[in-house]
Amino acid sequence: MVVLSYDTPRLGRGTSRSIDAHHSSTASSSYISPYMDSPFYLDPDKAPSAPAFVTDSTHVQPHAVEKVAYFFPKGVGEYHYGERHPMKPARLTLTNRLVLGYGLHERMECYSPRMATREELEWFHDSDFIDFLSKTTPTTPLSASFTRFNFADDCPVFDGMYDFCRSYAGASLAGARKLTSGTADIAINWSGGLHHAKKNEASGFCYVNDIVLGIQELLRYHPRVLYIDIDIHHGDGVQEAFYNNNRVLTVSFHKYGNDFFPCTGALTEIGVGLGKHFCLNVPLQDGIDDSSYVSLFKAVIEPCITSFRPESIVLQCGADSLGLDRLGCFNLSISAHGECVRFVKSFGLPLLVLGGGGYTIRNVARCWAYETSVLTNVSIPDTLPSTPYDAFFEPTHKLHEPLQAARVENQNTKANLEKIRIACLEQLRYLHGAPSVQMQEIPPDLAGWLETDQAAGKGNEEGFRTERADD
């Protein structure tokens, strides 16, 4: 039995910097903007004699050396939802190859985590739902359960579906454990972030909600967890799971209106019961650009952190909010998307970074590789490293490409964005005096300590470690 009291906020661990004295550095003159008029693009190729690795000095880092753990489940990129389905797990292989090609694995501890156990999945999901997920194959005859659990066009039954879910969920749980054990400051799982899955229903290409599982693991040690979602779709599954909970503040930035999936995420959805005011939605319209998005993001997130005082943050980095996404309608550049990641990281709180949507897969891989460099404080060249997948990145072979070729008109007026900003700040006024939790007993986590080497063998070809529970 462990007795812990968490009354004192622990912001910016290891730093003497006050969070109030925050951020003005993005306007640094070292930023140049060759693409999309983005003030967030830094072109290391144009810096004279820039070596392959340049420690990013544009921001003062709160930690001397942040420990970053990277989780890539073996084989997770080889699953297939179906030929015409927009969700392509192969984007994870592309991402991983760029990360390795840039040498970023040398700046992180890399793990092939074990799959989540059924017991772990049932921390959130109903057992009859997991039962269906585990037993159904593409040859299973149709039954009422398909409708009941919403296995249809968006969420098809495909080969290996259950193992795919266990893989990405296992990686998010491993990342959360790495943070709560204090052995990493930042944990990355690009295969996770499947924010639409519900307790007993698949939804929006998501079957198991690894985010909810990861947050639940963090809540065993951290009294308050902040969830931030920058996918273009509303993070409805995570919101719903914690809607009456005042220990998780969920904040989602998304397109809202005109029947855009999943049709939730209005400004008026603020939580219920104990969770009232612990849910924030930032509904946006088509075509939002870099500077509007990033300035609104910072204006909302900074007071979330100062008011709610989370002990850790989970950041869902859905890349379908980029310009030119196959299913999206925003105009964000990779550098602006990454600036949101940089901003969240700069608070120095334990950070679980997850993937999510993203359907123009060459840009998803570019985005998440870039964000891995942001999280490891490395400035990487704009020319992509050579990988077996070079054809995906032709003809330019660049990391930062203009993503506004078929630019969607920005339908977000300044007045509207200001209205949203003020409404969010108004909401956050209720959070002063965030709930403190007397954590008198940490519930057992026997499953977390199982050492099940179902992942890669030791020292696979990419030098990844098999996850050890006692690591």
Residues near Zn ion (CB under 5 A) are 231, 233, 318, 320, 357
Taking the least distance from each CB to Zn ion, the nearer of 233 and 366 is 233
In the complex, least distance from residue 274 CB atom to Zn ion, rounded to whole angstroms? 29
The residue (of 222 and 233) whose beta carbon lies closer to Zn ion is: 233
In the chain, the amino acid numbered 122 is: E
Residue whose CB is less far from Zn ion, 289 or 325: 325
DSSP 254: E
The single-letter DSSP state of residue 293 is: H
CB-nearer residue toward Zn ion: 39 or 318:
318
292: phi then psi, degrees, rounded to nearest 5: -65, -45
Which of left, alpha, beta for 49 (phi over 0: left; psi -120 to 50: alpha)?
left
Would strands 68-71 and 54-55 be described as parallel, antiparallel, or unpaired?
Answer: unpaired
Asked whether residue 470 is marked as a ligand-binding residue, the answer is no
Annotated ligand binding at 154? The verdict is yes
Binding residue per annotation — 290?
no
256 contact partners, CB below 8 Å, separation of at least 6: 234, 265, 266, 281, 283, 284, 285
Q: In angstroms, rounded to a whole number, what is the distance separating the alpha carbons of residues 344 and 229?
A: 11
214 or 357: whose CB is closer to Zn ion? 357
Cα separation of 448 and 120, whole Å? 8
Angle between helices 290-308 and 414-428 (to 10 degrees): 10
Q: From the CB of 362, what's the least distance to Zn ion, in Å? A: 17
| Nearer Cβ to Zn ion (63/326) | 326
Residue 44 or 355 with smaller CB distance to Zn ion: 355
Measured from each CB, the residue nearest to Zn ion is: 357
Integer Cα distance of 165 and 170 in angstroms: 8
Nearest distance, CB of residue 195 and Zn ion, angstroms = 8
Report phi then psi at 224, rounded to 5: -135, 135
Biggest CA-to-CA distance, the chain: 64
In 3D, which of 14, 5, 7 has the Cα closest to residue 349? Answer: 14
- Which one is catalytic: 105, 125, 196, 254? 196
Kindly tell me the burial class for residue 394, based on how many C-beta atoms sit within 10 Å of its own C-beta (0-12, 13-18, 19 or more).
Answer: exposed
CA distance 5 to 3: 7
Residue 6 beta carbon to Zn ion: minimum distance, rounded to whole angstroms: 33
3-class SS of residue 304: helix
Q: Report the Cα 419 to chain-centroid distance in Å.
A: 26
**Least distance in Å: CB of 321 to Zn ion?**
8
**Vertex 13, ends 246 and 294: CA angle to 5°?**
65
Q: Is 359 annotated as a binding residue?
A: yes
**Helix, coil or strand: residue 337:** helix
Q: Is 277 a catalytic residue?
A: no
Shortest CB 357 distance to Zn ion, Å: 3
If DSSP codes are grouped into helix, strand and coil, which group holds residue 76? helix
Residue pair 250/270 in contact by the 8 Å Cβ criterion: no
**Which token pair is 385?**
């490293």
Annotated binding site for substrate: 154, 204, 359
Can you say which residues are annotated as belonging to the binding site for a divalent metal cation?
A: 231, 233, 320
| Enzyme catalytic residues | 196
